[in-house]
Amino acid sequence: MSELKVAFIGTGRLTETPGAMGYAMAHMHADGYRLLDDVEMVACADIVPENAQAFADKYEFTDIYTDYNEMLTSVKPDVVSISTWPHLHAQMVLDCAAAGVPAVHCEKPMAHTFGAAKAMLAACEESGTRLTFNHQRRYGKPFYMAKELLDDGAIGELQKIEFGTSDLYDYGSHSWDMANYFNDECDTRWVLCGLDYSEENVVFGAHNENHSIAVWEYENGVFGMAAGGDATALVGCHHRMVGTEGIIEIARSNMPALRVLRAGEDWKAIDTGDEGCHAAEFVYRCIADIVDCLRTGGESQMNARNALRATEQIFACWESVRRRGMVTLPLDIEDNPLEAMIEAGDLKPAAQS
C-alpha cells in the first residue's frame, strides 16, 4: 500500500498555556498522523518561518514554505490539515479544492461567515475533495457511548437536547455538532436566541458573545436549548438528552462523565474508562478516520455537510438577535450577524479587560 502524503497549512507553535491565541492543533493533528503506518508527513506552510521549521524538525521532514499555494503545487499532497484562524479557512479550502487535493481536514469553526462556509462545501463537492472538520468529540467515549444508549432506546423516544457552553461559536461549534449527532443529523426548523455582548471576547480573531440562551426545534419535533456564559449553570452539564423514559447526561466535572436516569431508577454511572469530555486521543481517532475514509471511499462523520448544519445553527442564533425574533431555516444570509451588529453599532462591547 502506497503512503499518503500529508501537508499542513498553519503550524502555530507549542505553548505552555493553550487558549484564545492557540492550542497548537497542527501538532495534535501531526501526532495523530504519526500513529499511522500508511501516511508520510512531507511539508508544512506557515507565515512564520521559525514555526514551520520547528514543526518540520519535530516531525522529521524538510520541506517548509511560507506560501501554502506554492506548497500545494510543489508537493501535491493527498491530505492537507488546516490549523489556522476561522477567517482564513475558506480561502485555504478553496485553494486546496482548486489544486485537486483529495482530502482536507480543517479545524473548526467552519468559517467566519455563512456565505464562506457554503462556498467551501460547494467547491469541494465540485472538485471531489473530501472536506472534514475537526469535531473530535464524536470520537470520545462519553459521546459515542451516549449515542449508543440513545440508539438502544435506553431513555425511550428522544424529546429534547440541552447543552451548556462558554459560547455559541468557538467551543459552541462542538456543542452544536454533538447535539446534531445525537439527533441523527436532523435539520433544524427554527431558532430563537438572546445574548449579551458587553465585553469584547475575541477568540482566534473572531467575536464570540459573552452570555446566551438559545432554543430551537428540529424538523423531527425534537427541541433544543443551549445556555452560554454565565447562563451555562441553567443546563449544568455538557449535554443532556431527555427522552420519554429517562435522561442521559454528559458531565463537565465533579460527576461521572456519562450517566443515565431511567424511570423508577436512580442515576447510573456508565463506565467510560478514564475518558472525559476532552482528550488528545479524540483527535487521533479523527485523523485515523479521515485517512481510512480516503483509502476505502467511505464518508467520515466529520463531513462538511454535518459541519455546515452546526454552522447554520450558530449564525441563525446571531441572526435571531439581529432580527429580534424567530428565524426559520434554511438560513438566507451570507454574512456574520454578530460582526455586522458590532460594525453597525447595535452591539458595543467594551475592550477586553
Where in the chain do CATH 3.40.50.720 domains reside?
4-137+280-303
Helix (H) or strand (E) holding 150: helix 141-151
**Mean pLDDT across 168-175:** 97
* pTM value surpassing 0.75: yes
21 has a pLDDT exceeding 80: no
What does the pLDDT look like over 36-76, one tens digit per residue?
Answer: 999 999 999 999 999 999 999 999 999 999 999 999 999 99
d(CA 318, CA 300): 28
Where in the chain do CATH 3.30.360.10 domains reside?
140-277+310-343
Rounded percentage of the chain residues whose pLDDT exceeds 90: 93
What does the pLDDT look like over 85-143, one tens digit per residue?
Answer: 999 999 999 999 999 999 999 999 999 999 999 999 999 999 999 999 999 999 999 99
d(CA 43, CA 69): 12
What does the pLDDT look like over 186-218, one tens digit per residue?
Answer: 999 999 999 999 999 999 999 999 999 999 999
Residues 173, 311, 291, 64, CA torsion sign: negative
350: confidence class by pLDDT, cuts 50, 70, 90: very high
pLDDT value of position 258: 98
Mention every residue, 6+ apart, whose C-beta is less than 8 A from residue 298. 292
Output 307 or 20, whichever has higher pLDDT: 307
Q: Do residues 155 and 149 touch, judged by C-beta distance below 8 A?
A: yes
Place of cell 497542527: 26
345 has a pLDDT exceeding 80: yes
| 13 phi and psi angles, rounded to 5 deg | -145, 155
Amino acid at 313: Q
What does the pLDDT look like over 214-251, one tens digit per residue?
Answer: 999 999 999 999 999 999 999 999 999 999 999 999 99
- Cα angle 129-130-132, degrees, rounded to a multiple of 5: 130
d(CA 27, CA 284): 11
10: confidence class by pLDDT, cuts 50, 70, 90: very high
16 has a pLDDT exceeding 70: no
Residue 137's closest CA among 185, 176, 105?
176
Q: Do residues 162 and 175 touch, judged by C-beta distance below 8 A?
A: no
Rounded percentage of the chain residues whose pLDDT exceeds 70: 97
Beta bridge partners of 25: none
Domain spanning 140-277+310-343, CATH architecture: 2-Layer Sandwich (3.30)
1: confidence class by pLDDT, cuts 50, 70, 90: low
d(CA 24, CA 54): 12
Q: What is the CATH number of domain 4-137+280-303?
A: 3.40.50.720
Cis, bond preceding 86 (omega within 30 deg of 0)? no
d(CA 7, CA 101): 10
**What rounded mean pLDDT belongs to the chain?**
95
d(CA 261, CA 49): 53
pLDDT value of position 24: 85
pLDDT value of position 253: 73
pLDDT value of position 147: 98
Look up residue 340 and give its three cell numbers. 455586522
18 has a pLDDT exceeding 60: no
* Calculated CA dihedral for residues 115, 8, 46, 278, nearest 10 degrees: 80
d(CA 245, CA 238): 20
**Mean pLDDT across 21-46:** 92
**Mean pLDDT across 323-332:** 98
Maximum alpha-carbon separation in the chain: 64
pLDDT value of position 254: 76
pLDDT value of position 88: 98
Residues 124, 25, 230, 145, CA torsion sign: positive
22 has a pLDDT exceeding 60: no
pLDDT value of position 13: 79
Look up residue 237 and give its three cell numbers. 452539564
Residue 92 CB neighbours (<10 A): 21
